[in-house]
Amino acid sequence: MQEMTPFDVSLIAQDRYRLLVDAVTDYAIYMLDANGHIVSWNAGARRFKGYEEAEIIGQHFSRFYTDIDRAAGLPQRALATAVSEGRFEGEGWRVRKDGARFWCHVVVDPIWSPTGGLLGFAKITRDLTERKLAEDSLKQSEQQFRLLVQSVTDYAIYMLDPTGRVTNWNLGAERIKGYRPDEIIGQHYAVFFTEEDRLNGAPQRGLDTALREGRFVSQGWRVRKDGSRFWASVVVDPIRSDMGTLIGFAKVTRDITESVEAQRELEKAREALFQSQKMESLGRLTGGIAHDFNNLLMAVVGGLEIVRRRVLDDPRIMPLLDNAIQGAQRGISLSQRMLAFARRQELHLELVDVAALVRGMADLLRQSLGPRIEIETRFPLSLKPILADPNQVEMALLNLAVNARDAMPNGGTVTISAREYRFATKGGPLEPGDYVCLALADEGTGMDEVTLEQAMEPFFTTKGVGKGTGLGLSMVHGLAAQSGGRLLLKSEKGQGTTAELWLPLAVNAPVAMEAEKLQQPESRCLMAVKVLAVDDDPLVLMTTAAMLEELGCEVVEADSAEQALKVLTQHSIDLVLTDQAMPHMTGAQLADLIRDRYPQLPVILATGYADKLVGRAGKLPGLGKPFDMDALAEKILAVMSQS
């Protein structure tokens, strides 16, 4: 056998590069001289752009750009960027010979001579309009193809022999995979696959698919020389001779890890936005229902209370009235939980010592959880106070404890702990600031992912019919959000549940002065007060008027803010009691007009939920719906004593 000369070896290597570029069918790969004139042309470029080699060689590549892009200087800017930054990459509209446009991804790399002179540019274009790769490239001079392939750094372009062993290697492959040519040429390309993919035959399956279907396209994890993984987009094309004999495979790999991670983060953000919008919509719906429910309860509670005061002490009637009042009170409790979820409950914020609060309700917790539940507390020696409504925090903790008890039907341990934590940056679960995490952990059955996602939705419950309203966690969620914190649930099926109630620290917050409590009024005439009662709901208006009359007040009724203003021009009024949520003009707006026209006339604002009032309306004395006669009398006494 005749020994090959170095010249023969060089020709073989050049043939391989020629075959390599010829086998890349889905990319337009061509060269420009230093001024941007085309000096080589391939079949992929001809398919994309429609020009034959004879009519495009020597032409400036700017003819592929739209008129607007040429006027803006984009072609020259692309070459200048490639020279100054070592690479130009972008996407945009390009024009075919027939005038049709196509959207493409372009990479331009400068080609330097050994002495450092600029020889020209290597340009790779991919037609993203149809997401197909270009046809076989035209035959070019072997040196041009070598420079072209070697200058491409954003794609790993290399050849495999028919058995899958690497036969050549470009700079892009070295940059992406980490191997130098002398380290990888001759090795089987399965070395780039993960261990699990090698065991399941993925490397050979890719080659078989390329032979069977003419092309293999996939995405998956690949392994660099240092063992790190990256997400790769891979195209494998079989290379055949003119006689149809398999010579090997052309392989193009691109590292798309960043784009895949960005897509995943986008999907997470979309899911978080969807959940936030869903909870916000549920909150608005629940708050509206609770507000209307409060109006109904206002009529029921007020009417029952008046009847109970007037009816004789009949042993047959009184138990029924008491039972009806208790039922109405349970309805009030339900509506308050709904308002808590909707973040519309009225909060009385003050400094709260979490450890002292838990110690103070120890007996209540033990009685509520029963003898089979052990309670452990783990608190640091010192814990800064939080700014919250202590009654609501107690109710939240009791709800969480009862849920924990129900999750442990055979008994177990409930652990209550607290710790301080600072969120320093935005984008986390909470706004930057200092918080206390009040956590309650159980050893119960836990929740699967589906249940965990729905756990804080109102009326969702895993308990049997009649064993729960499904508003416990919803109430805690609403309290935390309204207080500037958050409720986080952590659970796995069979591994128990941890509920974390995050509430803001009250650093340097002033201690609220305890309001002077008025003595509860008795069932007698308070004073000769003429009250204008305003409410758009006739049931509530009638009940409110009856309660005022029962207290000895003279009452004038108005079913709208507009009518109330007319009444004020016709009667001498001592006090206005108005509903807040009314059409056309709210109670707060009515109060503003009264303040301007009748500065000395006091106004009490009744509302079914905690509206965020600003300005003068925020300073008005408020009365939460539904209210009983004692609460009404106490508020009137307080207001009239200051007027």
Q: Is 162 helix (H, G, I), strand (E, B) or coil?
A: coil
pLDDT at 121 (0 to 100):
95
From the CB of residue 464, how many other CB atoms can be counted at a distance below 10 Å? 7
Element (H, E) at 631: helix 629-642
88: β partners = 108
130-169 pLDDT per residue, tens: 664 433 333 444 455 555 555 566 788 888 999 999 998 8
pLDDT band for position 25 (50/70/90)? Answer: low
**Residue 2 predicted with pLDDT over 50:** yes
* CA–CA separation, 344 and 284 (whole Å): 9
pLDDT in tens, 404-459: 888 888 889 999 999 988 887 776 677 888 898 989 999 888 887 777 665 665 44
Q: Which long-range contacts (CB under 8 A, 24 or more apart) does 263-269 make?
A: none
Please compute the mean of the pLDDT values over residues 42-53 and round it to a whole number. 84
For 43, the 3-state DSSP assignment is helix
| E-assigned strand segments in 34-155 | 88-95, 101-112, 118-127
Q: What secondary structure letter does DSSP report for 615?
A: G
**Model confidence at 103: pLDDT above 60:** yes
**Average confidence score pLDDT of the chain:** 78
From the list 641, 51, 636, 630, the residue with the least C-alpha distance to 306 is 630
Which of 82-86, 156-160, 300-304, 628-632 has maximum average pLDDT?
82-86
Instruction: Report how far residue 475's alpha carbon sits from residue 477's, in angstroms, rounded to the nearest whole number.
Output: 5
Cα–Cα dist 480/487, whole Å? 6
Confidence of residue 468 (pLDDT cuts 50, 70, 90): very low
Instruction: Break the chain down into helix, strand, coil percent, rounded to 5.
Output: 40, 25, 35
Nearest Cα neighbor of 444 from 376, 498, 489 is 498
pLDDT at 520: 42
Please write the tens of the pLDDT for every residue from 316-335. 667 766 667 666 666 665 55
The DSSP 8-state label assigned to residue 227 in this structure reads S
Identify whether the C-beta of residue 248 lies closer than 8 Å to the C-beta of residue 160: yes
Query: For the whole model, what pTM was predicted?
Result: 0.36
Q: Counting every residue, how long is the chain?
A: 643
Q: In angstroms, rounded to a whole number, what is the distance separating the alpha carbons of residues 38 and 33?
A: 6
Residues 316, 194: Cα–Cα separation, whole Å? 82
What's the rounded Cα separation, in Å, for the pair 141 and 164? Answer: 27
Per-residue pLDDT at 202: 92
- Separation CA 60–CA 58 (nearest Å): 7
Given this model, what pLDDT does residue 139 score?
41
Say whether the peptide bond before residue 371 is cis (omega within 30 degrees of 0). no
Domains annotated for the chain, with CATH where assigned, are: 13-255 (3.30.450.20), 268-337 (no CATH), 350-504 (3.30.565.10), 530-642 (3.40.50.2300)
